[in-house]
Chain A
Amino acid sequence: MADAKAKIALELNGEPVEVAFAPHKTLLEVLREDLGLTGTKHGCELGECGTCTVLVDGTPVLSCLVLGLACAGHRVKTVEGMAERGTLHPLQEAFAELAAAQCGYCTPAFLLAAEALLATDPSPTRDDIKQALSGNLCRCTGYIKIYEAVELAAARMRGEDAKPAPETLYGVR
């Protein structure tokens, strides 16, 4: 508690940042408390729910299990870094369009985990998506709209003029 603050430099959402914090703090705490980026959430702070997922050098990590100090010199991406110049990322767009974000609390984590998936596999199958998102819990959606949003975003990122299926939004007639 009386620790002297540690100072590190990292790349945060594409920009160089320096931040000082108590050295015992996790990346989650540094992001939320010292950098003011509260878009990263927490559900357990024990590495069980995936809610605090961020990308470090493009890989999804549980920010509650990573020390802030360990991120010195690394690239960290949070949900705040997904939209560019006022335009939503295709995943954000699709999540909004399909109401894949209900309470929205787990959403930042799902978005980043999905972004990491699509960076390595632009055409994932439904099973690939399930596997890639299996470390993230959502209690609202039953995951279905999340899968559909990832598929929609993936198609658009491949350049397809994709629209949601009517049964996605209205059910089977």
Chain B
Amino acid sequence: MASGKKPTGFRVVGKAHRKVDATAKVTGVTRFADDLFLPRMLFAKLLRSPHPHARIVSIDTSKAAGLPGVKAVLVGKDLPIPFGILPVSQDEHALALDKVRFVGDPVAAVAATTEEAATEALDLIAVEYEVLRAFPDALDAVEHPEPAIHDYADAGNIHKLIHLEFGDVDAGLAEADVVREDLFFFEGNTHLPMEQHAAVADWSPPPDGKLTLWSATQTPHYVHRALAKVLELPAARIRVIACPNGGAFGGKSDPFSHEIVVAKLAMMTGRPVKITLTREEVFYCHRGRHPTLMWVKTGVKKDGAITGMHFKSLLDGGGYGSYGVASTYYTGALQTVTYHVPRYKFQGARAFTNNPPCGPKRGHGTPQPRFALEVHLDKIAEQLGMDPAELRLKHLVPPNSLTANWLRIGTMGLGPCIEKVVRGSGWKQKFKQLPYGKGIGLACSSYITGAGLPIYWNAMPHSGVQLKCDRGGGVTVFCGSTEIGQGSDSILATIVAEVLGLHPFDVAVVTGDTDLTPVDLGSYSSRVTLMTGNAAIQAAERARDVIALHAAKKLETPSERIAFAEGRVFDVQEPARGLTFAEAVQLAEAAEGTVGTVGSYTPAPSAAKYRGSGVGPSPAYSYSACVAEVDVDPATGIVRVPKIWIAHDVGRAINAATVMGQIEGSVYMGLGEALMEEMAYRGNRNVVHKIPSLLEYKSPTTLEMCDVVTYVVEDPDPNGPFGAKECGQGPLLPVPPAVANAVYDAVGVRIDEVPITPEKVFKALRRKEKGEAPRFGPAAFPDIAWPEPTRVPPPWEGGDGRAVALTPGASPGSPGTGIPGLAPGVSSAPGVSRR
């Protein structure tokens, strides 16, 4: 693999490029899913549950079916096969079979000649429900195992229980000079992409028996799998085309009810069927940030060195599994990759509740613990009388090392990131020195560059690329990756152009089409640049080798002297002697036939081999440091953030302009989560979403967005294409804790909960005035009957990445099944003890 082979001398990589789809996007030409109009197309609508938790007694669709214009009506029993993104959570039905589990759960569907007729028909469907007790939050679900929301769970209404221990944490805490415990809560929030989900299905009847689905999806491969399963069609007869996504942020990475429903309706009616969700429905689809309650206890030496850490999380999963098992593991996975943690213990629980299902949002399960950890460290630094930046800098995880939980760190650029934001922000002149009401806070983070393991465990590549070199001099790159605005199509073009000496606009890009493109697992886990990039390098180098061979013969020079640049193929020692790229392709084509190559990428095996180690390993970790400056009005509690300094270790920027956009966009989304964004429900057992609209769900407008000073740190990682690591998710993570730490610096109150709303700040200030603890945040973590731990000695205690049985009868975990998607779960003695 050529990754990182040539550290300098790039012609295309690293520069700021216009994206290959930029012109289409600024002219309105880009076709999003709802922009598709097919002849004779029908429109579908979903009837959704008005109850958070109920049994379906009966459904009468006869009146709806008789309405003029209605062509088909569907209910749960028409699509009885369950699905779900994770193999262990196949708990969804396209339409509720016998139970609804949140307000908005789809119950029936109609296809009609107009959207109006379909909407009118929904009113004619009579559903009789037997209402069940509803669970508005995780604490309620933990305390009440009955009635069970699902017929599977680790314990009662606790979907998943995790207990991992890496070394003797109690012994670690005993060695500490200071031991500190803190509680935090991170409220749920949602992706809020500007584009509502939409899908169009078309069916070619037998003998073709072929289904085509266009959808706003980040994961066409997983939609393909779900359609094949639920519709019982051969996958070879299903084509899924991911349209460019109008924003996604994780919210379009599950297979969805509406995608399966339009497919089935197209098969029933023999006509194309479209569905576009309303904005309100997008709030019900959700799959956003899990509301997470956290408890953390850390021991440190006087110099801030961590001696042991114990972390607990409780996630509100909502009504279905979604990615939740992985999300739960993620709340405990990455605590170890920033600062050295020699002994570490994690206990995580995810509860089923009757909220819309939670899943992966930008940062997937890690912004919550990162918030907790970085505010916790700020408190520890204060307790030790250390500067928070110094504390972090002194105890960074070393590069090229293993963590306590067996994650393999490669390059590690956090030190330079901290130094840049500290210097740029004037930290040393401002921290603890600004006037009352003004404050400055610092936080850091890390994120995976792609999940090291696939959702469905198999030995095949995570990303595949095909390349076709045309005799006209153009190149087409085919890849299953999905453009969601992050610029992945441009990354493919840029990398191929770099290797073949072309301009990115000479490269045509075909992506996200299961008929045309080799599988790429999808645009999630910040995996695309690294994985498709490495696959593209391999395909392009193979094409280069074939073309160079025949160019060398023509130029009568050794093929190792052949270079590719500026659309030419030439002798590097006599650059005047050369061919155009097109002529060189023609020579290769004449000699060998059509010039086409393939490339693929599979991450190296993880060092971790314990059950549950499927979440956390990554080919490379990105690092970010952030300083936030805040103005807090003590009279109202209103927090304004005028400016944020962010430094991000991206390994190497492939396209500098899109790296900047990803970093700034991450800061924006982090700021929204820090200050205002929340999925809030009326918790009176109706569990109705309070604010399913863009007006009431507060997100930053131009008037709330802060100034951003961005530093791009480039420390090329050998596993990344030309050294690149991720930048689309990581820079979100440090923003909420940096803001919280700055609020403390400004007015001396700890807001241990996001969003940091004026109400919370005001309450904490009132408490401070009254001499109470100057804090707003959760007061307790519930007692949960955790299973026996999976005990894994850290690398420095002589382990091999596998679990060991330390106590007779304890489950040792099973080596080699580190895939949470496949593992049945650690649940030797699950259960909940009431407090």
Q: Which residues of A contact B (CB under 8 A)?
A: 1, 32-33, 36-46, 48-49, 51, 78-80, 82-83, 88, 92-93, 95-108, 111, 129-131, 133-145, 147, 164, 167-172
Contact = CB atoms under 8 A, between A and B. Distances in A.
B35 interface: yes
A131 to B, nearest CB: 8
B27 A43 contact: no
B25 interface: yes
12 contacts: A42-B196, A43-B194, A79-B26, A79-B28, A102-B247, A104-B25, A108-B28, A133-B702, A139-B191, A142-B664, A142-B667, A169-B657
Contacts of A105: 32, 193-195, 246-247, 485
Nearest to B193: A139
Given A44-B693, A170-B656, A99 B22 contact: yes
Contacts of B486: 102
**Interface residues of B, dominant DSSP:** loop
Q: Which one of A82, A135, A145, A170 has the greatest number of beta carbons of chain B within 10 Å?
A: A170
B669 interface: yes
A79 B24 CA distance: 11
A137 B29 contact: no
Contacts of A39: 27-29
Given A45-B278, A169-B657, 17 more contacts: A36-B37, A41-B246, A49-B694, A79-B26, A83-B27, A95-B25, A97-B18, A99-B657, A102-B487, A102-B665, A103-B245, A140-B247, A142-B664, A142-B668, A144-B705, A147-B702, A171-B663
Contact of B249 (A88, A95, A139, A145): A139
Contacts of A88: 23, 26-27
Nearest to B31: A38
Contact of B703 (A42, A134, A141, A172): A134
B664 A141 contact: yes
Given A43-B194, A105-B246, A169-B660, A141 B665 contact: yes
Contacts of B701: 134-135, 137
Contact of A103 (B116, B244, B656, B693): B244
A104 B21 contact: yes
Contact of B693 (A46, A51, A106, A164): A46
A52 B518 CA distance: 36
A3 to B, nearest CB: 10
A88 to B, nearest CB: 7
Contacts of A167: 710
Contacts of A79: 26-28
A143 B661 CA distance: 9
Contacts, number: 204
Given A38-B35, A49-B194, A138-B194, A170 B667 contact: no
B114 A95 contact: no
Contacts of A170: 16, 653, 656, 660, 712
Q: Which one of A101, A133, A134, A167 has the greatest number of beta carbons of chain B within 10 Å?
A: A101
Contacts of B164: none
A46 B484 contact: no
B30 interface: yes
Contacts of A131: 702-703
Contacts of B459: none
B711 interface: yes
Nearest to A106: B194
Interface in B514-571: none
Contacts of A38: 28, 31-32, 34-35, 37
Given A98-B657, A104-B26, A143-B702, A41 B693 contact: no
Q: Which one of B245, B484, B667, B701 has the greatest number of beta carbons of chain A within 10 Å?
A: B701
B694 A134 contact: no
A170 B711 CA distance: 8
Contacts of A78: 28
B204 to A, nearest CB: 25
B26 A101 contact: yes
B125 interface: no
A6 to B, nearest CB: 16
B708 interface: yes
B709 interface: yes
A26 B410 CA distance: 55
B710 A171 contact: yes
A140 B665 contact: yes
B27 A45 contact: no
Given A38-B28, A98-B657, A43 B23 contact: no
